Amino acid sequence: MAKKRPQTKAKRPQPQDGARAAVADGQVPVVGAREPCPCGSGRRYKACHGRAAAHAVTELVQRPFEGLPGEGDWIALRELVPAATVALHLRESLPEGVPSVTLATVLPMAWPALRREDGSVLIGLQNDTASGDISRDLADTLQRALTAEPGTPVQARRAPGDGPRLQDLLDPEGAFEPVVHEGFEFWVPDAQNASTEVTASLERANAAAIPTVKLAGVEAAYWCETPDKNHLRWVMPHPEEQLLDALARLHAAGASSLGEGTRLVGSFRAHGLTVPVWDLPTGVTAEDVEKPASEFAERLSAALATDAPLTADERRARGGLTNRQVTLS
């Protein structure tokens, strides 16, 4: 018979030096799910501090841009607008060598971020994110972009579950003023020296871009042109139920259009807010709907202030709007 090996007490895994320093500082580094937890508990990361991190990664934040200046515009640039940029203002001073930080709807090859040769930073908004909190993922990308080598893109990764959010990094009083572009030429300040990959990506993006204009007279409303008809899509900050009641009152009263030939056709949800949509005749431009949109905003404000029960006609109008509502995210 083979001799039994003497049993020895299993040695508890110890965190590495870098992890020790982080744990001592109150931070537990993110490691692989099956690796020993850096806190030194002897358990795997997924059964220890990874539980909270996993929960933070999978929990969906319904309004990721809530509390940021221009929440409606953040949603529009994420879901509706092909090409736009916005200068971002941080709570803290920019690091040395970083002259500016700019949010872009999308970047070449869908990079999450890019630090240009001059040190400036571009952050892409229309990217897949690894967690249920877009704000936390973008904040992680932003922090890494600020320290990236000039001339290099920032790759995607899973953000730490306890990392900062955009609301922690951006100035709450900073202006958020989107600039809508006809194409994506803002990617390449020096087009002649752009790589073949970037040039090809630019050509594909420009070919797919739908002409879009931000209205000047109201907040977060965007006109767009399509082959069959034009549209106005307007991200509104009001509570959904209250907004649908108000839209139903106006619709039943024949006051929900933006002029002759236009029609409120429904709405969709995006990142916690409701986005009514109007069909517009092909010949109706963004400039044509500026005044009607401002007048509609006044009618909507009055309807939102009404708390009387809906009439039978208003309930039918509300049912029609609800039946045509979809959720993007």
5-61 confidence digits (pLDDT tens): 444 444 444 444 444 444 544 566 766 666 788 888 888 766 787 665 555 556 889
Q: How many domains does the chain have?
A: 2
How far apart CA 37 and CA 181 sit, in angstroms, is: 47
**Contact (Cβ atoms closer than 8 angstroms) between residue 126 and residue 108:** no
Whether 183 is in a domain gets the answer: yes
Evaluate if residue 4 carries a pLDDT over 50.
Answer: no
Pair (297, 218) in one structural domain: yes
Evaluate if residue 101 carries a pLDDT over 70.
Answer: yes
CA proximity to 214, closest of 84, 103, 70? 84
**Beta partners for residue 70, in sequence order:** none
Pair (178, 193) in one structural domain: yes
Evaluate if residue 109 carries a pLDDT over 80.
Answer: yes
Pair (125, 137) in one structural domain: yes
For residue 193, the model assigns a pLDDT of 67
For residue 166, the model assigns a pLDDT of 98
* Across 25-39, 201-215, 225-239, 250-264, least confident range: 25-39
CB neighbours of 146 closer than 8 A, spacing ≥ 6? 94, 95, 98, 101, 115, 121
Q: Which residues form the domain of 110?
A: 71-208
CB neighbours of 65 closer than 8 A, spacing ≥ 6? 71, 74, 75, 134, 135, 166, 271
Pair (225, 199) in one structural domain: no
Distances (CA, A) of 303 to 54, 245, 313, 317: 43, 8, 15, 14
Q: pLDDT digit string (tens) for 276-324?
A: 999 999 999 999 999 999 999 999 999 999 999 999 999 999 999 998 8
Pair (289, 221) in one structural domain: yes
pTM: 0.81
Query: Of 155, 183, 208, which marks where a domain is finished?
Result: 208
Query: Of 208, 235, 253, which marks where a domain is finished?
Result: 208
| pLDDT confidence band for 162 (50 / 70 / 90) | confident
Pair (313, 300) in one structural domain: yes
Whether 1 is in a domain gets the answer: no
Whether 55 is in a domain gets the answer: no
Evaluate if residue 144 carries a pLDDT over 50.
Answer: yes
CA proximity to 186, closest of 245, 120, 140? 120
* Across 25-39, 73-87, 188-202, least confident range: 25-39
Distances (CA, A) of 162 to 29, 42, 85, 158: 10, 22, 28, 12
Q: pLDDT digit string (tens) for 209-223?
A: 999 999 999 999 999
Burial class of 136 by CB neighbour count within 10 A (0 to 12, 13 to 18, 19+): buried
Amino acid 240 reads E
**Burial profile 112-125: b = 16 or more Cβ within 10 angstroms, e = fewer:** bbbbbeebbbbbbb
Pair (223, 313) in one structural domain: yes
**Phi (first) and psi of residue 325, to 5 degrees:** -85, 140
- The mean pLDDT value for 138-147 works out to 97
Pair (227, 201) in one structural domain: no
How far apart CA 177 and CA 143 sit, in angstroms, is: 22
Whether 305 is in a domain gets the answer: yes
For residue 298, the model assigns a pLDDT of 98
